[in-house]
């Protein structure tokens, strides 16, 4: 008898590995091999975690905070998160509605698992963060996309949403400020979208992980802040990775109506247990020492803002390229459609010939664009843009 070799699951065979992490890994491998790479692929701040946060985690380690903690997070951190929603957004949140997870990515996945059943549809505005479709699929649901391109500032409008809803739609994903476009929805846009979500009884996953990385005096408006009803249907995800340069710490947050928060915590109790205990004490310091945190955040924001403007103006000087000035996160999403190449080929050739790493728009559900992260030094931006300009000029004749 010759038994068939065992097969991987449908989950494993159907999941698409993260293209952003793949390109970042490739760029880092080229650098390790001695290549002079200009990488615009990173999805993380190029700053170290502020000192007071690191010190608090070290102190917690030394004090023996090395054991299991309550699944949804240590009590003082859940309370501090609830308090910060009240102080920042006027949202009255009980600590029991807060779940701390090993990363915002995991928080998003748990949110989908908590509200989606097989057969449900998850509505995802494109360009989207690469993980949403895969998470929806892993929850047994079907991702559906609505394209909001640069003609509408990469922001979905209520009419587009209305037209995309079916009887199976269960969840709408909103991500403002957005990865990959940096777009920030206005209050009236969020109001119009939430009115539609309300009418159709949808849950809304509001991924606000870039909530504090925002420029030009713009304020992000979270859907949960609009009304009591909006708050009840919204699952807010955020985390410590981007705002506090804590990507490696793996700490995400989720705030939701009591029943949803309880479901998320119960799912987490079987999937990961608590987020790393001593890391949570570091996060607590970020919230409990706001003056020090503010200094670090403002320095980072000033650098990002300068680079944002620099990269934006340089990209728009390249013939046939056009780029909107994003108001949040640390990405720009220029339109490269006039070069006539699929974005994947454009980015592969750019890396091959000029050693410039960028992520193709098709990875985010938007052909004809690419994502550039400006979470990198001014010097890399200047050098990378020069190479990009040369690459584009070379394409002119091809």
Q: Phi and psi at residue 289, in whole multiples of 5°? A: -120, 65
In the DSSP assignment, the letter for residue 342 is: -
Reported residue count of the chain is: 398
Of the candidates 228, 255, 216, 266, the one whose C-alpha atom is nearest the C-alpha of residue 77 is 255
Contact string 65-104 vs ligand PLP (x = CB under 6 A) = --------------------------------------xx
| Number of residues lying near ligand PLP (CB under 6 A) | 14
Of residues 226 through 245, those in contact with ligand PLP by CB under 6 A are 239, 241
Residue 209 CB, shortest distance to ligand PLP, in Å, is 4
Asked whether position 43 contacts ligand PLP by CB under 6 A, the answer is yes
Strand partners, 101: 252
Residue 272 CB, shortest distance to ligand PLP, in Å, is 12
Interacting residue with ligand PLP among 97, 142, 169, 179 (CB under 6 A): 179
Interacting residue with ligand PLP among 56, 124, 209, 388 (CB under 6 A): 209
Residue 240 CB, shortest distance to ligand PLP, in Å, is 7
Q: Are 110 and 264 in contact (CB under 8 A)?
A: yes
Q: Are 86 and 93 in contact (CB under 8 A)?
A: yes
* 3-class secondary-structure state, position 146: strand
Asked whether position 247 contacts ligand PLP by CB under 6 A, the answer is yes
Of residues 100 through 119, those in contact with ligand PLP by CB under 6 A are 103-105, 108
Which residue number is nearest to ligand PLP in terms of Cβ? 104
As given in the structure block, the two tokens for residue 325 are: 């000035």
Q: Which is nearer to ligand PLP, 108 or 359 (CB)?
A: 108
As given in the structure block, the two tokens for residue 376 are: 């990198």
Q: Which is nearer to ligand PLP, 206 or 362 (CB)?
A: 206
**Interhelix angle for 277-288 vs 290-316, to 10°?**
90
Asked whether position 384 contacts ligand PLP by CB under 6 A, the answer is no
Q: Which is nearer to ligand PLP, 108 or 110 (CB)?
A: 108
What is d(CA 135, CA 109) in angstroms, rounded to the nearest whole number?
A: 6
Asked whether position 365 contacts ligand PLP by CB under 6 A, the answer is no
Q: Is 34 exposed, middle or buried (0-12, 13-18, 19+ CB in 10 A)?
A: exposed
Contact string 121-160 vs ligand PLP (x = CB under 6 A) = --------x-------------------------------
Task: Summarize as ranges the residues that interact with ligand PLP (CB under 6 A).
Answer: 43, 103-105, 108, 129, 175, 179, 207, 209, 239, 241, 247, 252
């Amino acid at each position: 008898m010759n038994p068939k070799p065992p097969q991987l699951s449908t989950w494993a065979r159907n999941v698409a590995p993260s293209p952003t992490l793949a390109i970042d890994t490739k760029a880092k491998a080229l650098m390790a091999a001695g290549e002079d790479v200009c990488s615009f692929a990173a999805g993380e701040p190029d700053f170290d975690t502020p000192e007071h946060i690191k010190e608090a985690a070290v102190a917690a380690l030394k004090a023996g905070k090395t054991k299991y903690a309550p699944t949804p997070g240590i009590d003082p951190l859940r309370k501090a998160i609830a308090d910060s929603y009240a102080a920042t957004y006027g949202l009255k949140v009980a600590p029991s509605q807060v779940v701390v997870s090993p990363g915002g990515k995991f928080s998003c996945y748990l949110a989908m698992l908590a509200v989606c059943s097989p057969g449900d549809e998850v509505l995802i505005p494109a360009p989207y963060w690469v993980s949403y479709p895969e998470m929806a699929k892993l929850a047994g649901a079907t991702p559906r996309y609505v394209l909001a391109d640069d003609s509408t500032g990469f922001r979905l409008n209520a009419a587009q949403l209305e037209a995309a809803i079916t009887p199976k739609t269960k969840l709408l994903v909103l991500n403002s400020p957005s990865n990959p476009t940096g777009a920030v929805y206005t209050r009236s846009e969020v109001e119009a979208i939430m009115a539609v979500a309300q009418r159709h009884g949808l849950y809304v996953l509001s991924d606000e992980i870039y909530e504090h990385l925002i420029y030009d005096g713009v304020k992000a408006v979270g859907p949960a802040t609009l009304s009591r009803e909006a708050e009840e249907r919204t699952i807010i995800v955020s985390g410590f990775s981007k705002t506090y340069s804590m990507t490696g710490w793996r700490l995400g947050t989720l705030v939701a109506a009591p029943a949803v928060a309880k479901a998320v915590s119960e799912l987490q109790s079987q999937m990961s247990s608590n987020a790393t205990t001593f890391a949570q004490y570091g996060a607590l310091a970020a919230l409990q020492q706001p003056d020090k945190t503010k200094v670090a955040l403002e320095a980072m924001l000033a650098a990002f803002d300068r680079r944002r403007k620099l990269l934006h103006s340089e990209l728009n000087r390249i013939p046939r390229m056009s780029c909107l000035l994003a108001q949040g996160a640390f990405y720009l999403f220029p339109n490269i459609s006039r070069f006539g190449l699929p974005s994947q080929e454009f980015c592969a050739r750019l890396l091959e010939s000029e050693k410039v790493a960028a992520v193709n728009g098709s990875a985010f559900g938007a052909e004809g664009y690419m994502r550039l992260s400006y979470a990198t030094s001014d010097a890399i931006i200047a050098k990378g843009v020069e190479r990009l300009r040369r690459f584009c000029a070379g394409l002119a004749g091809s």
